[in-house]
């Protein structure tokens, strides 16, 4: 398993996503209400770029004609054929046990542990629904003073593949 520092957590806010290329894979990294999740950017149906679809919710029903809007912000809809997937598990909505998108471990780490974002992630990442990180890795501009680090340093989003 390899470890990739994606970006400071402030650059991937709740509701946002970032699509990165690591280890020859395209992977979508999502912040869902403060929790980070990563999905393979390839739909199990026809390998379309699943992670580039709309993030929204889905519907449930307690009976014919009754519709509840649920899981708002937790569902990504593949731009080809509209299959819905749960961002937090990779499971499809229509058949969660058999049809799933691949998932990866993603977490945040304290700046001292994380290090700078990967060159590949910072420069080659496609950003969707969010601004690309600046040209310079933001960590380089941080105050490196040890006393200030806890207060001013940022957590980094780290992906394991």
Partner 1 sequence: MAQGAGERTPSDPGEAPTLIDCDVHQSWASDEEIRRHLPLEFDRYGVNLPNLLYNNPGGVMREDAAPAEGELPGTTPENVAAEHLDPYGIDYAVLTGHATNLALLPNRRYAAALARAYNAWVQEDWLPADDRLLGSILVPPQAPEAAADLIREFGEDDRFVQVLMNTASPRPYGQSFYWPIYEAAAEMDLPVAMHPHHDGLGISNPPSGAGYPGSYFEWHNILPAVVMGQLNSLVTEGVFVEYPDLDVVCIEGGFGWVPHLLWRMDKNWKGLRSQTPWLERPPSEYVIEHVRFTSQPIEEPERPEHLRQIFEMMHAEETLLFSSDFPHWDGDSPDHGLPPLDDDLESRIFAENARELYDLPR
The binder of partner 1 chosen from 35, 80, 142, 155 (CB under 8 A): 80
Instruction: Give the CA radius of gyration of the chain.
Output: 17
49 or 115: CB nearest partner 1? 49
Query: Can you tell me the distance from the alpha carbon of 15 to that of 5, in angstroms, rounded to the nearest whole number?
Result: 20
Q: Token pair of 48, please?
A: 């379309």
CA distances from 119 to 5, 122, 124, 126, 137 (A): 9, 5, 8, 13, 9
Which of the stretches 50-58, 87-95, 114-122, 136-144 binds partner 1 when contact is defined by CB under 8 A? 50-58
DSSP 8-state symbol, 11: G
Which of the stretches 5-13, 46-54, 86-94, 134-142 binds partner 1 when contact is defined by CB under 8 A? 46-54
Which of the stretches 7-15, 47-55, 104-112, 150-158 binds partner 1 when contact is defined by CB under 8 A? 47-55
The binder of partner 1 chosen from 35, 48, 115, 149 (CB under 8 A): 48
| CB-based contacts of 1, cutoff 8 Å, min separation 6 | 105, 160, 161
41: contact with partner 1 by CB under 8 A: yes
23: contact with partner 1 by CB under 8 A: no
26: contact with partner 1 by CB under 8 A: yes
Q: Token pair of 14, please?
A: 């709740």
82: contact with partner 1 by CB under 8 A: yes
The strand order across the sheet containing 103-109 reads 3-8, 156-160, 103-109, 35-40, 25-32, 17-22, 126-128
44 or 111: CB nearest partner 1? 44
Residues within the interface to partner 1 (CB under 8 A): 26, 41-42, 46-49, 52-54, 77, 79-82, 128-129
């Amino acid at each position: 398993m390899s470890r990739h520092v994606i970006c400071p957590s402030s650059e991937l806010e709740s509701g946002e996503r970032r699509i990165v290329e690591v280890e020859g894979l395209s992977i979508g990294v999502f912040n869902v209400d403060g929790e980070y999740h990563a999905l393979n950017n390839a739909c199990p149906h026809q390998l379309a770029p699943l992670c580039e679809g709309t993030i929204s919710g889905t519907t449930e029903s307690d009976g014919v004609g009754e519709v509840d809007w649920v899981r708002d912000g937790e569902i990504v809809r593949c731009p080809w054929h509209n299959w819905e997937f749960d961002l937090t598990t990779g499971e499809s909505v229509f058949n969660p046990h058999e049809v799933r998108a691949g998932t990866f471990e993603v977490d945040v780490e304290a700046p001292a542990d994380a290090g700078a974002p990967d060159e590949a992630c910072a420069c080659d990442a496609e950003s969707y629904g969010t601004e690309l990180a600046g040209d310079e890795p933001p960590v380089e501009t941080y105050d490196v003073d040890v006393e200030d680090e806890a207060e001013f340093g940022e957590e980094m989003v780290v992906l394991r593949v």
